[in-house]
Homo-oligomer: A and B are copies of this chain.
Amino acid sequence: MTDLALPRGATQVGLAVDVAAFAMHASELHVLLVQRGELPHARDWALPGGFVHPGEELHEAALRELRTETSVELEPRHLEQFFTFGEINRDPRGRIVSVAHLAVLPHGTVSVSGGGHTLGAEWMPAHRTPKLAFDHQAILDRALGRLQLRLEYANLALEFLPDTFTLPELQGVYEAILNRKLDKRNFRKRLLAQGSLTPSGERRSGVGRPAQLYRRAKGTRTPAL
């Protein structure tokens, strides 16, 4: 491999990543937002994101922005690129192309606080967010669409839950993402039939009858796509 110069006329653009990071809280799907501390759009809420560093892969940049703009400590259980936003005027600072990523964080990722250049970070209900900076509402909409698609294909719902979980909890994840109610009996039938769950033997007590705990069956990791 020879090292060659870029041809003349090759547009140099700012390369950024944005991350729509989802998690479940209180039976509702939440998305992680940060409050911007700088112009443009200072004080507006936005998806975490920023510029890719030299020598950094796209997914590494996505992870870094997630970690530094928020105090999220946990590794995402799923991370995928889903669309690239490149409209000329999407950012007033110049031509900035953003490769948007979808991330799933496990349950328990509750407390976040701002970091880096942000004033703060918060989990907000994904289906009703405040006005967002730039074209981030469009990015979020597309992320939600992709999330719903992935629910059917991959077992992506499992990534929202801890290692062991109950069937009503899993159903709650589906309902929060699809934004509609599902029939309990049909849901259980379908999920158990596909054989990707193993009963752990334990049960979880709370109010009402204790629920059977399940875990992901061996050899059913979410495919890489």
Contact = CB atoms under 8 A, between A and B. Distances in A.
Interface stretch (A67-75, A93-101, A215-223): A93-101
A135 to B, nearest CB: 13
Contacts of A99: 84, 86, 97
A102 to B, nearest CB: 13
Given A93-B3, A93-B4, A93-B5, A88 B15 contact: no
Nearest to A4: B93
Interface of A is mostly: loop
B14 A87 contact: no
Interface residues of A, number: 38
A57 interface: yes
A7 B14 CA distance: 10
Contacts of A94: 6
Contact of A81 (B39, B40, B83): B83
Given A2-B39, A13-B15, 13 more contacts: A3-B92, A4-B92, A4-B93, A11-B51, A12-B13, A13-B13, A15-B15, A54-B95, A55-B88, A56-B88, A57-B87, A57-B88, A97-B97
Interface of A: 1-7, 9-16, 39-40, 51-58, 81, 83-84, 86-88, 92-97, 99
